[in-house]
Amino acid sequence: MKGKKFSKLTVLLALQFIIMIILSLIITITISSATRKNTIEHMETITDERAHIILNYVENAEKTLTYYSKAEQVTDLLKNPSDPAAAKKAQEFTEDYSASIDNVEGLWIGEWNTHCIAHTNPGTVGITTRKDPDKLKELQDAMLAAGDKVYNTGMILSPATGKQIVSMYKAVYDESGNPIGFVGLGIFTDKLIDNLNNLSIKGLDDVTYSMVNVNDGKYVFNDDPELVYNAAENDDIRKLCSELKGTGKDKNGSFEYKKDGKKYTSIYTYIPEYGWLLMLDDTKSEIYSLTNIMRVYMVIFGIAILALLAIFSFINRKQQKVSQKLASTIVKNNKTKESLYTAMFKDVLTEVNNRVAFSMNLEEFKGTNDQPCYFAIFNINDFSEVNTRFGNDTGDWLLVRTVDIIRQVFKNGKIYRTGSDEFIVALKVNNKETSAADIRESVSDAHHRLSSPQNSPVGKQTFGYKAALVKKTSEVNTSVITVLKDMINKDVNALQGHIEYNDLDNKA
């Protein structure tokens, strides 16, 4: 009887461990799939953010040139180019104005025939830049076609300095609408590229940036300087250039390729305003590092289980010891499963749910007309600057403090850390008890508390935040994160406390 009893116990242990292996395998596969998807989505978001940085850099330069073109000193000189007094005032104004422009190569005023009559560098005054009639007409036609807007030639090598610049021109018109001249501006791209390279991405150390002009298929900038202004040889890039050339629609996506024996994933976004294709590249091994680690864990876990089976089979002759060992093993393995679950779905620092948990909990957020769901985003402005300026310890304190304040305001909300510097609160409310106005007031209250001066580890500091709110009364997917991010990124007043609100069910 004893022998049969021990045999049954051994079988029971074997079944227990086999079930644990199967469950762990299912969890690993599920989490790996979600992790891969979220990593790609995270990289797509980062690429979009970098594209906005480039777009803002160029648009700010265009605004600078537009303001300059409307100055009285500029129009007075173009109306009377031979007037010494007007020339002196315009030259002084040009030098003072350009001194306030970061990374400027040159700011100048030209007559309609490109004869320079004022310039950041006084030694350039008097030079005619377009002596070729065809080149002159091409420039004049382009400025006229732009109308009252800026004609942007894109990123080019400056013939004066040999460095890469963003070159742009804007026609100046008289009261009758006839062109009397133009203004020009060149901005170095060095600072822009340095800023992109200095924006680190947590967990992705091998990331590189590149950008291609889809009109000619040539690199605008690349991690390898020798490739700049040379045509891209990658078939996927060439195909994208062919598809996007002449289109004015946004597009983003990804493709994979091999280089020097390594496999890479490239996440791209198209900037139609200037015909630029921005790409963020990283090795597949780094992108899927968590998945690979989980696979290694499964192998180790399987070996450990087999070893435990052997041990228990060896000592099953002693029933009491086997029973004690079995109980201990079950408890340990249950704790292992709990720890694995916590590691996958929780943010260790702030102890709130992470982006993976948000994806897994989507079914809970299915609202109705009587019980709608609200999603609020709180984004720490320039969080990387906080870490750089005050150190990671202060950055960690700020993240924990952010969660504490949000939790104080939204006592019944579920908080998720969906990015390095962003948190989303999900609430399901009863219309009869809580209105949209109540939720918006709570979001405003939380934003006010977060933006107020705080006693940080480095003294009293004020940190900027952006916030937005959406409502949903039907099924929800992870695109709600993208919608919220777009709302705060496109709202120029977000940092001043303006909180945009959208009812997603009322959108066309």
Mean pLDDT of 167-186: 94
pLDDT of residue 143: 94
Band (pLDDT 50/70/90 cuts) for residue 337 is low
- The pLDDT value given to residue 15: 79
What lies within 8 Å, CB to CB, of 164 at 6+ separation is 155, 156, 157, 158, 188, 189, 190, 221, 228
pLDDT, average across residues 95-122: 93
* Count of positions (residues) in the chain: 508
Note the pLDDT tens digit of each residue in 473-496: 888 888 999 999 999 999 888 888
Q: Is the pLDDT of residue 9 over 70?
A: no
Q: How confident is the model at residue 345 (pLDDT cuts 50, 70, 90)?
A: confident
pLDDT tens digits, 250-266: 888 889 888 888 888 88
How high is the pLDDT of residue 190?
83
* Least confidently predicted of 28-32, 84-88, 128-132, 154-158: 28-32
pLDDT of residue 95: 93
| pLDDT at site 261 | 86
What residues contact residue 101 under an 8 Å CB cut-off, 6+ apart? 64, 107, 185, 187
CA 227 to CA 156: how far, in whole Å? 14
Per-residue confidence (pLDDT) for residue 198, from 0 to 100: 75
DSSP code string of 450-489 = HHS-EEETTEEE---EEEEEEEESS---THHHHHHHHHHH
**203 — pLDDT class (breaks 50, 70, 90):** low
Nearest-10 crossing angle of helices 2-69, 479-490: 30
Which of 213-227, 341-355, 462-476 reaches the highest mean pLDDT? 462-476
CA 99 to chain centroid, in Å, comes to 31
- In this prediction, residue 1 carries a pLDDT of 44
Q: What band does 210 get if pLDDT is binned at 50, 70 and 90?
A: confident
Residues 351, 345: Cα–Cα separation, whole Å: 10
> Quick check: 508 pLDDT over 50?
no
Backbone angles phi, psi at 422, to 5 degrees: -135, 145
Q: Which residues contact 261 (CB under 8 A, 6 or more apart)?
A: none
pLDDT tier at 208 (50, 70, 90 boundaries)? confident
pLDDT of residue 4: 47
- Rounded to whole angstroms, the Cα distance separating 171 from 317 reads 96
pLDDT digits (tens, 9 = 90+) for 396-420: 999 999 999 999 999 999 999 999 8
Confidence of residue 222 (pLDDT cuts 50, 70, 90): confident
Q: Which residues of 205-232 are buried (b: 16+ CB within 10 A; e: fewer)?
A: eebebbbbbbeebbbbbbeeeebbbeeb
Reply yes or no on whether the pLDDT at 380 is more than 90.
yes
**Residues 6 or more apart whose Cβ sits within 8 Å of residue 417:** 347, 350, 352, 353, 354, 355, 399, 403, 423
Of 33-47, 233-247, 268-282, 413-427, minimum mean pLDDT range: 33-47
Rounded mean pLDDT of 85-98?
94
Residue whose pair of structure tokens reads 């790409």 in the numeric block? 279
Q: Is it the case that residue 322 has pLDDT exceeding 60?
A: no
What is the average pLDDT score of the chain?
86
Instruction: Lowest mean pLDDT of 327-331, 354-358, 403-407, 478-482, name the range.
Output: 327-331
Sheet holding 208-213, edge to edge: 218-221, 208-213, 276-283, 262-271, 252-259
Name the strand (E) or helix (H) holding 438: helix 436-451
Least confident of 178-192, 325-339, 423-437, 452-466: 325-339
Candidate from 125-134, 320-329, 413-422 with smallest mean pLDDT = 320-329
| pLDDT tier, 327 (very low <50, low <70, confident <90, very high otherwise) | low
Give residue 303's pLDDT.
79
- What are the Cα distances from residue 173, in Å, to 75, 79, 84? 8, 10, 21
